[in-house]
Amino acid sequence: MADLFSNLSLGFLVAASLQNLLLCLIGVIVGTLVGVLPGVGSVATIAMLLPITFGLPPIGALIMLAGIYYGAQYGGSTTSILVNIPGEATSVVTTLDGHQMAQQGRAGPALAIAAIGSFFAGCVATLLVAALGAPLTSIALLFRPPEYFSLMVVGLIFAVVLAKGSIPKAILMVLVGLLMSQIGQDLETGVGRMTFNIPDLADGIHLSVVAMGLFGFTEIIRNLENNTSRDILKTKIDGLMPKRADLVASAPAIGRGTILGSILGILPGGGAIIASFAAYGLEKKISKHPEDFGRGTIVGVAAPESANNAAAQTSFIPLLTLGIPPNAVMALMVGAMTLHGIVPGPQIITKQPELFWGMIASMWIGNLMLIIINLPMIGIWVRLLRIPYRSLFPCIILFCCIGIYSVNNSTFDVVMAGVFGLVGYWMAKHDFEPAPLVLGWVLGPLMEENLRRAILISHGDYTVFFRQPISAALLAIAAGILIVAVLPTIKRKRETVFVDD
């Protein structure tokens, strides 16, 4: 315990230097901005800023880049709630209830609860990273390819169960995502897969392109079908601050979201996206009123927004302790570290304690900055609601185009996102949900890699996933969730078959 305090005070000493405070502030402001802007994701922004950080001291560079990531979790919720477009993939699930709340004139409380939940989660996650960083390394060390693979199965099943509508159709979407993620170069052999020798497809289709098409463009096309004045225009906002009842209702959800997010953030292959989905799924499952979900319940905003912020921070644990990036953002952090000659891994905590603890302390400071700059600024975001949709949608289209183009300077990507916009429109007409597809797309390459390794290590034994205890337990959880969720659906469908005739 005394160690923890001396370590943390070392961290705060490092993080509170004027330069690091300023870099932290820049990081969280840029993060909020890219979180709010659809089409400019935290991954793209961090990638863009990597060369700029080369001139900075390593610790300052990492503090700023980390600030962008968790700052984007705050900002991402804003567009999810106000315009039904997740600024970040981690806020996809927030659109379900957050946007419903905005349509019911409760955008203010939704935004405030998202910020409060994020701040609470950020504080707890900071303490968790500090207290559990070292001991949790031993748990994470137990995860080998079979466990990684099974963990990802659990993540996907969660996504399927929480998706709106039919479970088989959600599984179909996951499979489409997994299949499409295979486009591009095979990492192990370098063979181009399903690329038709098109150079633009050699690296696959980037997730940001897919997500922007399915979530950005599709939503615009669908909104244009309706009388758009019905849309975000009519929403009336009574009071920005949450009522006492809102706080009471959200408090347990924030707590559970924080815990679940912290756990899922630590596990490799998890991270902020799964955390937000899983937290939403958990709340829906344990709620006394599951029918309220998707209709604007504040719990559906509080839980995922707390979870994604907690996970964004705890996902630094595998990176800093094992050197394994659990998600794309952390992969870019590895790039930033190697730029500065730091090898991520267990040696950081012992050899460069000021780096490890400085980053942790900066996270708490960054969260404090975020709530200070976000809560008063909610009024500015709320004002966005007053802009008529006819003026807003061309802005969103252009932001998306510029954002996608800026990632790779690729016009192919822009056209591809447009194509996915049309695909999403088709999907909407056939009641296919885009969220499970996107999740499958993220996890596809990781699942394949771990499946391949697991089979290779076990010398072609396909039962390895059931014989390793952790892996078997994870698969049992996945099967259990699926069975519990599917049984009522089958029953209902059987009824429609027999009743209708």
Query: Nearest approach, Cβ of 461 to another protein (angstroms)?
Result: 9
List of long-range contacts for 195-203, beta carbons under 8 Å, 24+ apart: 200/410, 200/412, 200/413, 200/416
Binding of residue 482 to another protein (CB under 8 A): no
Binding of residue 418 to another protein (CB under 8 A): yes
Sequence-distant (6+) residues with CB within 8 A of 186 are 192, 193
Binding of residue 197 to another protein (CB under 8 A): no
Looking at residue 290, what DSSP letter applies? G
**Distance in angstroms (rounded) separating the CA atoms of residues 43 and 340:** 19
Binding of residue 104 to another protein (CB under 8 A): no
221 vs 384, beta carbon nearer another protein = 221
Do the Cβ atoms of 309 and 118 come closer than 8 Å?
yes
**Distance in angstroms (rounded) separating the CA atoms of residues 59 and 369:** 19
Binding of residue 198 to another protein (CB under 8 A): no
Give the residue, chosen from 138, 197, 409, 463, that forms a contact with another protein under the rule CB under 8 A: 409
Part of the chain binding another protein (CB under 8 A), chosen from 9-17, 56-64, 94-102, 186-194? 186-194
Binding of residue 489 to another protein (CB under 8 A): no
Part of the chain binding another protein (CB under 8 A), chosen from 92-100, 293-301, 323-331, 422-430? 422-430
Binding of residue 295 to another protein (CB under 8 A): no
Give the residue, chosen from 198, 202, 380, 395, that forms a contact with another protein under the rule CB under 8 A: 395
Q: Residues touching another protein: how many (CB under 8 A)?
A: 69
Binding to another protein in span 24-63, by CB under 8 A: 48
Q: Give me the numbers of helices (H) and strands (E) for the chain, helices first please.
A: 23, 2
**Distance in angstroms (rounded) separating the CA atoms of residues 78 and 8:** 32
Give the residue, chosen from 144, 285, 340, 452, that forms a contact with another protein under the rule CB under 8 A: 452
**Distance in angstroms (rounded) separating the CA atoms of residues 336 and 316:** 13
Sequence-distant (6+) residues with CB within 8 A of 119 are 367, 368, 370, 371
Part of the chain binding another protein (CB under 8 A), chosen from 143-151, 176-184, 252-260, 376-384? 176-184
**Distance in angstroms (rounded) separating the CA atoms of residues 101 and 112:** 12
CB atoms within 10 A of CB 279: 35
Binding to another protein in span 250-289, by CB under 8 A: none
Neighbour-count burial for 325-336, b at 16+ CB within 10 Å, e otherwise? bbbbbbebbbeb
Do the Cβ atoms of 128 and 451 come closer than 8 Å?
no
Binding to another protein in span 105-134, by CB under 8 A: none
Give the residue, chosen from 10, 176, 247, 486, that forms a contact with another protein under the rule CB under 8 A: 176
Contact positions vs another protein (CB under 8 A): 48, 166, 168-169, 171-172, 175-176, 178-179, 182, 186, 188-189, 191, 193-194, 196, 217, 220-222, 224-225, 228-229, 388-391, 393-395, 397-399, 401-402, 405-406, 409, 411-412, 414-415, 417-418, 421-422, 425-426, 428-432, 444, 447-448, 451-452, 455-456, 459-460, 493, 496-497, 500
